[in-house]
Chains A and B, each alone.
Chain A
């Protein structure tokens, strides 16, 4: 205890002093520190998954992440019961912002498994390396440099799923030389409407997308490397059964150039600098819906320019990381409505009135190994955040609600976190505490009549919002004994100035059929708590069982439950795995959602449970390798929806799937 106090005092006085956190990256879905994506690059891995599963599917397998579904495509990740605005989602450290005012394009929808090597997830303030966050950070990481000199490798992936007639095809070409590598891959996915349990077709749940990426690197010399990456992702004909509109185009171009310096003998051991640009076009329309009160088009655009430069250093027992980053984003969205009375002209408004966001900040982290089994780490991020309403019309339209506002709004943001880890042979414990702030998102600050079909209200942004602030504490403990493992993980967030929409009775809803207007406002505070207990037992070398139960809680200072808080959940799995074959039977379910939030548009979601079976084979054909993954999802064809399904759209019923990968060396 004395040690702890001393350490805390040290930290506050002395800045960055810290500890070597041994990161044993376990490829286990119940482990949150870092999830290694079991994509097509890790085919020999014995995870019980489809090799061609989407990133959405993949993330959903993680303990703390749930995916909010508005359809069968472009699910929105939520971590610690917080979604988009409260998370910092990046692609290889690059900031990228969706162009849809209705959150139909979380940025996870603009990359595919084929682009990535792993997904790095940091809960709460430990996810603040790339930007400010409350709930955590998700970094979708591109593959590392591959100067292995292994020559050309080709792999072909094919997948088919019976439910929705879902077809996937992918091709990956990789050339790896000693000083040059080139990686090109493409993937195509197409699904028709899927069926919920009992063969109930879910209309407008189809989608189609392709993704191509090109990554290349050149080694200038022993220490310097130059890399470039381009990802192009295009989805068309995407249905959103939970919403009143579909998407005819969601297109992203993501580009970056990176310089890497690595040298073990200098003070700065690695320095990585990246310049990037990405642009997103998102077109919402309702032309395929037969029956709408009014036709509308809602296109949106988001362009981001940015850079980061991160360095890592090792000074005796200190491992130091510094990350300097900045970005400039332009978000613009419009809405045009075509009246049923053809004599009237179209109605038009800027739903995101050309909002520019400029951010620059610095992050530093030090990990200090106090002794062999104790370590302490602390991290700090400070930044400057500026929003500008660039369009005069945009400023004037927001001045209807806020006559006193100007075009510019500056904010200073800070984040601090510290973590103490104590590790012995049979057990380990860690405590963490943190403080973080975030600026309101573009929708929260500047959205203009954004219809939310979840609670059936129009939302108006509020440029005068304070920063949202969070104090968090987390605790983790693990105990291992022979073949038995048990772990407990819990975190608590006390969020001040919690941003959420508040009904303004004096305002009249714009959207036909909406119940009213909510203006983004802040609750004086909100509390979010979660706890997960997981355990596993190895019966033999090939047989193992594992299970997880979780509980989440969230309430606001107005006495209402927060929306989208996960109810009691459980997961149980039996695994059988021998070399070249694996099988898993999985039971997954949620309890009854008793603490639902009717105030924010939720209704009670009943409990459910589903049963899945996953199988995997691997065999060699001459020098080439074939990996087969197949199985049945929702074996009992349960018709269900979860708390995270927008407007209670039912999830997929029984589904047979098969994925095949053929790797040519």
Chain B
């Protein structure tokens, strides 16, 4: 009879012991990338620049990237670098860059830096893109450059288009990363292609949203909101209701600050899909 009481106590003791022993053995080498997968390492004579994200690969669309720099001589991670980068797509007749953020130190992390790149296109074999990373450590400048592989995403999560104002824009989906049957927070990045190498964020426009399921009569969902610019996050935010899992088309319209439509149309029976749209499936 007493066994009934002893067994739980035994278990509790065991677990407690195992927990505390873990704590005791905490590593002296800092490992802050436990939940991330390494995409690639760019190496020069002095350093290895390691690139991480959650999937371990670059795909078209928004890529949140975590960077770590290892001193090849000491095997220590550099904690005081200032970093900039330049992704470049080499095409047959020309080359261009892509929207990207500045690189900042990750909040609360010692060895990590972060930023994002929006790859607006990819070759089928993933070739064509290269990444140059410039960094400064203790007032000494370094640089590393390498080809990278960017695969085509299965669904259109980024689109590049010419607006009615004859300017070229790029819209990329930032969130939701893992959509669910709920009201999801939808975050889109809007960039203008100012030149081949410059893609600044466009502020204070508006993006309307009409999600549809083409596989099921092109029905919509309720309580979606149009997207407005969030100054702090430098992106557009709105609510996206997904009533079921499956393939959704997010029909969009881009309006400038004078409420003029730059791209996209309303969805009707005759016109089931806007010319400006993104896709997702879950």
Cβ-defined contact, A401 with B222, below 8 A: yes
Partner among B182, B214, B216, B241 whose Cβ is within 8 Å of the Cβ of A337? B216
Kindly list chain A residues whose C-beta atoms are within 8 Å of the C-beta of B281: 344-345
B55 within 8 A of A: no
Give the residues from 132 to 189 in chain B that come closer than 8 angstroms, CB to CB, to chain A: 180-183
A22 within 8 A of B: no
Stretch at the interface among B1-9, B58-66, B244-252: B244-252
B215 within 8 A of A: yes
Given A396-B181, A403-B183, A512-B216: A344 and B223 within 8 A (CB)?
no
Partner among B216, B222, B242, B247 whose Cβ is within 8 Å of the Cβ of A507? B222
Given A347-B244, A400-B221, A400-B222: A341 and B215 within 8 A (CB)?
yes
Partner among B181, B182, B215, B241 whose Cβ is within 8 Å of the Cβ of A294? B215
A599 within 8 A of B: no
How close is A45's CB to chain B, nearest CB, in angstroms? Answer: 53
A510 within 8 A of B: yes
Given A344-B281, A348-B245, A400-B182: A294 and B222 within 8 A (CB)?
no
Number of interface residues of B (CB under 8 A): 22
Give the residues from 215 to 231 in chain B that come closer than 8 angstroms, CB to CB, to chain A: 215-217, 219-223
Partner among B183, B217, B223, B246 whose Cβ is within 8 Å of the Cβ of A511? B217
Partner among A345, A396, A509 whose Cβ is within 8 Å of the Cβ of B246? A345
How close is A392's CB to chain B, nearest CB, in angstroms? Answer: 9
Closest to A346 in B: B246
Kindly list chain B residues whose C-beta atoms are within 8 Å of the C-beta of A348: 244-246
- Type the 1/0 row for A302-342, where 1 means its CB is closer than 8 Å to any CB of B: 00000000000000000000000000000000010101110
Cβ-defined contact, A344 with B222, below 8 A: no
B243 within 8 A of A: yes
How close is B140's CB to chain A, nearest CB, in angstroms? Answer: 51
Cβ-defined contact, B220 with A344, below 8 A: no
Cβ-defined contact, A344 with B181, below 8 A: no
Give the residues from 341 to 371 in chain A that come closer than 8 angstroms, CB to CB, to chain B: 341, 344-350
A513 within 8 A of B: yes
Give the residues from 398 to 412 in chain A that come closer than 8 angstroms, CB to CB, to chain B: 399-401, 403
Give the residues from 212 to 232 in chain A that come closer than 8 angstroms, CB to CB, to chain B: none
Cβ-defined contact, B181 with A397, below 8 A: yes
Q: How far is the CA of A107 from the CA of B211 in the complex (A)?
A: 39
Closest to B211 in A: A508
Kindly list chain A residues whose C-beta atoms are within 8 Å of the C-beta of B182: 393, 396-397, 399-400
Given A345-B281, A348-B245: A400 and B216 within 8 A (CB)?
no
B213 within 8 A of A: yes
Kindly list chain A residues whose C-beta atoms are within 8 Å of the C-beta of B221: 400, 508
Cβ-defined contact, A510 with B183, below 8 A: no
Cβ-defined contact, B246 with A400, below 8 A: no
- Type the 1/0 row for A506-523, where 1 means its CB is closer than 8 Å to any CB of B: 111111111000000000
Partner among B183, B219, B245 whose Cβ is within 8 Å of the Cβ of A400? B183
A290 within 8 A of B: no
Cβ-defined contact, B216 with A347, below 8 A: yes
How close is B181's CB to chain A, nearest CB, in angstroms? Answer: 4
Q: How far is the CA of A156 from the CA of B183 in the complex (A)?
A: 59
Given A337-B246, A401-B223: A396 and B183 within 8 A (CB)?
yes
**A: interface residue count bin:** 20 to 34
Where chain B touches its partner, the secondary structure class is mixed
Q: How far is the CA of A344 from the CA of B154 in the complex (A)?
A: 11
Kindly list chain A residues whose C-beta atoms are within 8 Å of the C-beta of B223: 400-401, 403
Cβ-defined contact, B215 with A339, below 8 A: yes
Cβ-defined contact, A399 with B246, below 8 A: no
How close is A335's CB to chain B, nearest CB, in angstroms? Answer: 8
Kindly list chain B residues whose C-beta atoms are within 8 Å of the C-beta of A397: 181-182, 243
Kindly list chain A residues whose C-beta atoms are within 8 Å of the C-beta of B214: 341
How close is A346's CB to chain B, nearest CB, in angstroms? Answer: 7
Q: How far is the CA of A348 from the CA of B222 in the complex (A)?
A: 17
Q: How far is the CA of A345 from the CA of B221 in the complex (A)?
A: 19
Q: How far is the CA of A341 from the CA of B183 in the complex (A)?
A: 26
Q: How far is the CA of A339 from the CA of B281 in the complex (A)?
A: 13
Closest to A517 in B: B222
Kindly list chain B residues whose C-beta atoms are within 8 Å of the C-beta of A401: 222-223
Cβ-defined contact, A400 with B180, below 8 A: no
Cβ-defined contact, A508 with B245, below 8 A: no
Cβ-defined contact, B247 with A345, below 8 A: yes
How close is A336's CB to chain B, nearest CB, in angstroms? Answer: 9
A449 within 8 A of B: yes
A579 within 8 A of B: no
Closest to A296 in B: B216
Cβ-defined contact, B243 with A510, below 8 A: yes
A293 within 8 A of B: yes
Cβ-defined contact, A349 with B244, below 8 A: yes
Cβ-defined contact, A510 with B215, below 8 A: no
Cβ-defined contact, B215 with A340, below 8 A: yes
Partner among B181, B215, B217 whose Cβ is within 8 Å of the Cβ of A349? B181
Q: How far is the CA of A543 from the CA of B221 in the complex (A)?
A: 65
Cβ-defined contact, A509 with B215, below 8 A: no
Cβ-defined contact, B245 with A349, below 8 A: yes
Q: How far is the CA of A341 from the CA of B279 in the complex (A)?
A: 15
Q: How far is the CA of A2 from the CA of B215 in the complex (A)?
A: 70
Kindly list chain B residues whose C-beta atoms are within 8 Å of the C-beta of A350: 181
Cβ-defined contact, B180 with A396, below 8 A: yes
- Type the 1/0 row for B178-213, where 1 means its CB is closer than 8 Å to any CB of A: 001111000000000000000000000000000001
Q: How far is the CA of A488 from the CA of B245 in the complex (A)?
A: 56
Q: How far is the CA of A510 from the CA of B215 in the complex (A)?
A: 10
Partner among B180, B181, B217 whose Cβ is within 8 Å of the Cβ of A510? B217
Q: How far is the CA of A339 from the CA of B241 in the complex (A)?
A: 20
Q: How far is the CA of A348 from the CA of B216 in the complex (A)?
A: 11
Cβ-defined contact, A347 with B217, below 8 A: no
How close is A124's CB to chain B, nearest CB, in angstroms? Answer: 37
How close is B209's CB to chain A, nearest CB, in angstroms? Answer: 14
Kindly list chain A residues whose C-beta atoms are within 8 Å of the C-beta of B244: 335, 337, 347-349, 449, 510
How close is B272's CB to chain A, nearest CB, in angstroms? Answer: 13
Kindly list chain B residues whose C-beta atoms are within 8 Å of the C-beta of A337: 215-216, 244, 246
Cβ-defined contact, B243 with A400, below 8 A: yes
Q: How far is the CA of A165 from the CA of B219 in the complex (A)?
A: 43
Q: How far is the CA of A12 from the CA of B40 in the complex (A)?
A: 82
Kindly list chain B residues whose C-beta atoms are within 8 Å of the C-beta of A346: 245-246
Q: How far is the CA of A528 from the CA of B213 in the complex (A)?
A: 41
Cβ-defined contact, B180 with A293, below 8 A: no
Cβ-defined contact, B215 with A347, below 8 A: yes
Kindly list chain B residues whose C-beta atoms are within 8 Å of the C-beta of A393: 180-182
Kindly list chain A residues whose C-beta atoms are within 8 Å of the C-beta of B215: 294, 337, 339-341, 344, 347
Q: How far is the CA of A409 from the CA of B245 in the complex (A)?
A: 27
How close is B156's CB to chain A, nearest CB, in angstroms? Answer: 14
Q: How far is the CA of A347 from the CA of B215 in the complex (A)?
A: 9
How close is A26's CB to chain B, nearest CB, in angstroms? Answer: 53
Closest to A513 in B: B217
Kindly list chain A residues whose C-beta atoms are within 8 Å of the C-beta of B246: 337, 339, 344-348
Q: Which of A397, A506, A511 has the most CB of B within 10 A?
A: A397
Give the 8 A-B residue pairs with the shortest CB-CB distance, closest first: A347-B246, A396-B182, A339-B215, A349-B244, A508-B220, A512-B217, A344-B247, A348-B245
> What are 15 sample pairs from A and B whose C-beta atoms fall under 8 A apart?
A293-B217, A337-B216, A339-B246, A345-B245, A347-B215, A347-B246, A400-B223, A403-B183, A449-B243, A449-B244, A508-B219, A510-B219, A510-B244, A512-B217, A514-B217
Extra A-B contacts (14), CB below 8 Å, given A397-B181, A510-B243 = A294-B216, A335-B244, A344-B215, A344-B281, A345-B246, A345-B247, A347-B213, A347-B247, A349-B244, A397-B182, A399-B182, A400-B241, A448-B243, A508-B222
Residues on A lying within 8 angstroms of B by beta carbon are 293-294, 335, 337, 339-341, 344-350, 393, 396-397, 399-401, 403, 448-449, 506-514
